[in-house]
């Protein structure tokens, strides 16, 4: 990783009552049909994430964490309740500009090198120009991959691939990043480095972050910790300022 790692020396961002909400979920419900039964996954989940805040969500396997993230991203529809991005609801047209996503499985395009994978985010909006290429190169340098921009995903380690995914998530300057178990396919040391990088860049760019993780150590690094249990979000460690 680059010696200019933005996470080094980063401290938890001071809370602010004046920070505007970038994401609000109110009384969200979601269930799925299984044979002749309907299984409730979310039973009135509430969540508010403010600008620049980092929030972690933990819960047992099958508790609905990934379902919740799909709803927050607008990739699936709620059965009841509301989800708001800033002052409006999520739409496909807004998604590419408003939020970035980091997944456990990286989802890089194998035929494209690291630079082109990062630029794919800007292609969701328009054909990338010189300014976009410069930003993509800068982001790759900031995640420690200045010398690996022309490498294909198959030529990168798991940690390097996830760093490409982090750069891609930040490419369009989103107000919010949703990260779904981003260290799930990494060893402990590499996973710790990726979390430090993700949190450091989010703080540096004042981008809000929602981190779904099984790892209590990673969760403890965020401004606020929540637990998803029986379809409801409960505070584990609330931030005094939010």
Residue 7: inside a domain: no
pLDDT digits (tens, 9 = 90+) for 46-55: 999 999 999 9
Domain total of the chain: 1
Alpha carbon distance 118, 123 (integer Å): 9
Give me the domain span that covers residue 225. 21-237
Task: Flag whether pLDDT at 235 surpasses 70.
Answer: yes
Task: Flag whether pLDDT at 16 surpasses 80.
Answer: no
Task: Flag whether pLDDT at 61 surpasses 60.
Answer: yes
Residue 107: inside a domain: yes
Segment 192-209 mean pLDDT: 94
Q: What is the pTM of this model?
A: 0.88
pLDDT digits (tens, 9 = 90+) for 79-95: 999 999 998 888 888 99
pLDDT digits (tens, 9 = 90+) for 163-179: 999 999 999 999 999 99
pLDDT at 17: 52
Residue 14: inside a domain: no
Res. 133 pLDDT band, cuts 50 70 90: very high
Alpha carbon distance 163, 189 (integer Å): 14
Res. 242 pLDDT band, cuts 50 70 90: very low
Residue 198: inside a domain: yes
Burial environment of residue 235 by CB neighbours within 10 A (0 to 12, 13 to 18, 19 or more): exposed
The token pair that represents 147 in the structure block: 């010398």
Residue 8: inside a domain: no
Residue 44: inside a domain: yes
Task: Flag whether pLDDT at 41 surpasses 50.
Answer: yes
Query: Which domain CATH number covers 129?
Result: 3.40.50.300
Res. 10 pLDDT band, cuts 50 70 90: very low
Segment 15-29 mean pLDDT: 82
Residue 59: inside a domain: yes
pLDDT at 182: 94
Segment 104-122 mean pLDDT: 96
Residue 9: inside a domain: no
pLDDT at 47: 97
Residues 16 and 50: beta-carbon distance below 8 Å:
yes
DSSP string, 92-134: HHHHHHHEEEEETT----TTS-HHHHHHHHHHTTS---HHHHH
Instruction: Tell me the pLDDT of the chain averaged across its residues.
Output: 90
Res. 218 pLDDT band, cuts 50 70 90: very high
């Amino acid at each position: 990783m680059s010696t200019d790692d933005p996470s080094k020396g980063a401290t938890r961002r001071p809370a602010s009552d004046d920070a505007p909400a970038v994401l609000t979920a109110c009384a969200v419900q979601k269930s799925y049909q299984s044979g002749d039964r309907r299984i409730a996954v979310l039973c009135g989940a509430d969540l508010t994430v403010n600008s620049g805040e980092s929030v972690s969500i933990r819960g047992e396997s099958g508790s609905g964490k990934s379902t919740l993230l799909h709803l927050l991203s607008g990739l699936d529809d709620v059965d009841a309740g509301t989800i708001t991005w800033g002052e409006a609801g999520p739409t496909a047209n807004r998604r590419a500009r408003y939020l970035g996503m980091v997944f456990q499985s990286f989802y890089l395009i194998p035929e494209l090198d690291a630079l082109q994978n990062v630029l794919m985010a800007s292609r969701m909006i328009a054909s990338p120009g010189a300014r976009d290429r410069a930003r993509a190169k800068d982001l790759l340098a900031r995640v420690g991959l200045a010398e690996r921009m022309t490498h294909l995903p198959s030529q990168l380690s798991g940690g390097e691939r996830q760093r490409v995914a982090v750069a891609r998530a930040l490419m369009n300057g989103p107000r919010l990043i949703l990260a779904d178990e981003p260290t799930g396919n990494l060893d402990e040391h590499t996973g710790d480095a990726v979390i430090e990088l993700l949190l450091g860049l989010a703080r540096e760019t004042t981008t809000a972050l929602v981190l779904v993780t099984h790892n209590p150590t990673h969760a403890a690094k965020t401004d606020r910790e929540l637990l998803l249990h029986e379809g409801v979000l409960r505070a584990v460690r609330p931030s005094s300022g939010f």
